[in-house]
Amino acid sequence: MNFWLKSTIQAFGFYILTSISSFAQDAVFVGSEACVGCHQEQSADWEGSHHAQAWTPATDRHVLGDFDDARYQHDGVSYVFTTRNDAYFVEVSEPNGAVFTHQIHSVAGFTPLQQYLIETASGTVQSFDVVWDTLAERWYHLYPDQSLPLGDGLHWSGPYKNWNARCAECHATDYQRNFGAKSNKYRSTFAETGVGCESCHGPGSAHLRQAEQGEGWEADFGFSADTRNAQQVMEQCAGCHSRREPLTGGSPLPGTDFHDAYRLAWLSPGLYHPDGQIKDEVYVWGSFLQSKMQRRGVTCLNCHDAHTGDLRAEGSAVCAQCHSAAGNPEFPTLALKDYDSSTHSRHAEGTAGAACISCHMIERTYMGTDGRHDHSFRIPRPDLAAQSQSPDACTDCHTDQSPAWAAERISNWFPNSNHRGAHYGTVFATARQRPQAVPDDLMAIARDRDQSGIVRATALFLLQPVMTADLAAEMADLLGNSDPLVQSAAVSAQRAAPHADRITRLLPLLHNAPRMVRFAVARSLLDAPAELLSASQAALLRSAVQDWQRSLATKLDFPETHMVLGGMAMTLRNLPAAQAAFGTTVALDPQRAEAWSALVRLTAAAEGNAEAMRVVKRALKVIPDDPVLLQLQQDLNP
């Protein structure tokens, strides 16, 4: 029997919440009100910020939407928004005639939209899909072009709109999810709603005690986060402002290494264009990691005020803090010249086209009305648009023109530019469709020290479909890279290597790597034969696997978690556990076609074709046009 099979079979009985205590601390959270007495100016700035109003009670002070019997319709569903006895309600009439009335539990945000939250069961809060546009003062649906009936995973009552699991961690201070899989209930806790002072600084009781005793202290004395440490500041912002998978059951202690708390998404299809430009809502950090500014030491706080969140200057003046003829001594490598001029922008001064963000920070609208800027600060490359299959900033505005037109104009303006060389976007575009066509190019990008870690990691990710034992050996030196993103991707690439080589190369990383890397090692060595491991190696690996299992146990309310558990069970040839995991996946999200197809195959192997056919029919009632399920139906009933 595989070394891990017995322990993992036992672990698959853990469909209960396993509490994970990542950090020991003496200090406790005291709430933002405790900070006001000494920090009045900072508190006043913060009180009007998006952070302070990220999650508020449903009171007259905070609710901005029209609840005066306002009516709205979408996709055959009717909504009526009303007020009774100082409480707010929405009445929902479904197409089948069913009528539900829900009280508004609380409020998320205040501009440019406000979303309302509904408690559907004790402790379980869902984010409603009909939201209030605070600028246009109208109700609208977040998914106007989609039909999302009751029971769909993306319906407001479904798992992907669960506030406890998906949103609250970044809208509250010291939030802990506390989901019980057996009871299917949440007992979530938090120090305060909204992103308070301690969300960034850490628990403040020790700092407060020193202040009350009148003793001197340094700026960060008594806090878990050191705001003088630029890397900590950046990673503290990144914890929420990134597209990532949480690795713990709630808000990590401020000051925690990002890669100990989260697994950052690569520049993958659906999230980013091949050249790394934003596509889906990715929340800034993955974009900023691609930028030269990040690599030169620029932080969020060079552009944004820490307490208001606002820009430090108006318009292009925020860029001119550094990009000017005067420059900025903090960043001595900058060229000293006037960028805020028509000579540089080639647009009339004062026009929208002359603004730095128009060319270097394309904007995309999410949630219907919320414009977000790409923070990779890239130089427009319309000359690569056809090859990279990515948009370009020029034709974002000049919609009546082509990228070729834009490329010619730029070439005429800057004939001797050194910014028109090869770009990883063209390689990634090919690799997404035919990775076998560009393995050497992907390896070159993965090794290129001039590229950012997220780009190098993405190259390794795109190599995985064509990875061989020889390539894994060739790329093994990247396991020692100082960037955890590159390390983690390099670990996954080693799955193509023989077990003995994998063990030799990967086990040393378990001694001091961040949790994200440790979990990648655990996944890659899950099927390691017992006879290849010494007692000490087995103990080391067992600890990493158990840590990974504990992390998964904090997310048993996620359909994605059960997909991982199903894959883990199949790796270990534990078919009953895999069947249970994929069954739970489709119970949570009936639209998960890949889980249904796995469940059908497992059922056929375990219970025969007749029972598998019943599973196929259940699946096709939910997703009738899925080609894989239709083929399985045909295979089971020739």
Q: pLDDT digits over 220-230, tens only?
A: 678 999 988 99
CA distance 331 to 343: 23
Domain count across the chain: 3
| CATH assignment of the domain containing 630 | 1.25.40.10
Domain-located, residue 377? no
Q: Please indicate, yes or no, if residue 247 is contained in any of the structural domains.
A: no
pLDDT bin (cut points 50, 70, 90) of residue 24 is: very low
Pair (112, 77) in one structural domain:
yes
Q: Look at residue 219 in the predicted model and tell me its pLDDT.
A: 55
Residues 438 and 513 in one domain: yes
Q: For 499-555, where are the alpha helices, taking DSSP H only?
A: 499-506, 515-524, 535-553
**Tokens 């993405």 map to which residue?**
458
Other residues' Cβ atoms within 10 Å of the Cβ of residue 103: 12
- Tens of pLDDT, residues 559-617: 999 999 999 999 999 999 999 999 999 999 999 999 999 999 999 999 999 999 999 99
Domain annotation covers residue 419: no
**Residues 540, 611 share a domain:** no
* Residue 635 identity (one-letter amino acid): D
Helix H, strand E, coil C: the string for 579-617 is: HHHHHHHHHHCCCCHHHHHHHHHHHHHHHCHHHHHHHHH
Q: Which of 529, 553, 577 is where one domain is finished?
A: 553
Beta bridge partners of 114: 132
Query: Given a cut of 80, is residue 455 above it in pLDDT?
Result: yes
Together in a domain, 431 and 536: yes
**3-class SS at 121?**
strand
- Look at residue 5 and tell me whether its pLDDT is greater than 60: no
pLDDT at 218: 59
Which phi and psi (to 5°) does residue 353 adopt? -65, -20
Flag whether 47 is in a domain.
no
Is 8's pLDDT higher than 80? no
Residue 60 lies in a domain: yes
119 assigned to some structural domain: yes
Q: Are residues 589 and 537 in the same domain?
A: no
pLDDT tier at 335, thresholds 50, 70, 90: very high
Domain region containing 137: 55-164
Mean pLDDT computed over 134-153: 94
Long-range contacts of 4-7 (CB under 8 A, 24+ apart): 4/526, 4/527, 4/528, 4/542, 4/545, 4/572, 5/572, 5/573, 5/574, 7/542, 7/545, 7/546
**Do 565 and 549 fall into the same domain?**
no
Res 110 pLDDT > 80:
yes
- pLDDT band for position 54 (50/70/90)? very high
Q: Where residue 10 falls among pLDDT bands split at 50, 70, 90?
A: very low
Q: What's residue 211's pLDDT?
A: 85
Q: How confident is the model at residue 7 (pLDDT cuts 50, 70, 90)?
A: very low
List 192's β-bridge partners, or say none: 173
Residues 150 and 83 in one domain: yes
Please name which of 67, 72, 63, 68 lies closest in space to residue 110, comparing C-alpha atoms: 63
Cβ distance 488 to 520 under 8 Å? yes
Check residue 638 and give its pLDDT: 73
Distance in angstroms (rounded) separating the CA atoms of residues 314 and 164 = 36
On whether both 135 and 81 belong to a single domain, the answer is: yes
Domain boundary among 107, 141, 164: 164
Q: What mean pLDDT do residues 202-214 have?
A: 89
CB-CB neighbours of 23 under 10 Å: 11
This prediction's pTM: 0.93
What are the CA-CA distances from residue 212 to residues 28, 31, 34, 206 (Å)?
A: 16, 16, 11, 10
pLDDT score for 4: 34
Alpha carbon separation from 577 to 552, 570, 583, 614 (Å, rounded): 15, 8, 10, 20
The verdict on residue 361 lying in a domain is no
Residue 177 corresponds to which amino acid?
R
603 and 507 together in one domain: no
What's the whole-number mean pLDDT along residues 626-633? 96
431: in domain? yes
Average pLDDT, the chain: 93
CA distance 107 to 53: 9
543, 564: one domain = no
Segment 189-195 mean pLDDT: 98
What pLDDT sits at residue 15? Answer: 30
pLDDT band at 213 (very low <50, low <70, confident <90, very high): confident
Which of 535, 553, 571 terminates a domain? The answer is 553
What percentage of the chain reaches a pLDDT higher than 70?
A: 95
Residue 403: both structure tokens together: 């990228």
Mean pLDDT of 238-262: 97
| Same domain? 491 vs 571 | no
User: How is 466-501 classified by DSSP, letter by letter?
Assistant: G--HHHHHHTGGGGG-SSHHHHHHHHHHGGGS-HHH
pLDDT score at 21: 34
Give tens-digit pLDDT for 499-544: 999 999 999 999 999 999 999 999 999 999 999 999 999 999 999 9
Query: What b/e sequence results for 537-559 when a residue is b if at least 16 CB atoms lie within 10 Å of its CB, and e otherwise?
Result: beebbeebbebbbbbbbbbbbbb
pLDDT digits (tens, 9 = 90+) for 368-422: 999 999 999 999 999 999 999 999 999 999 999 999 999 999 999 999 999 999 9
Do 548 and 429 lie in a common domain?
Answer: yes
Question: Is residue 370 classed as helix, strand or coil in its secondary structure?
Answer: strand
Q: Alpha-carbon distance 381 to 275, whole Å?
A: 10
Confidence grade of residue 26 (pLDDT, cut at 50, 70, 90):
confident
The Cα 373–Cα 320 span in angstroms is 18
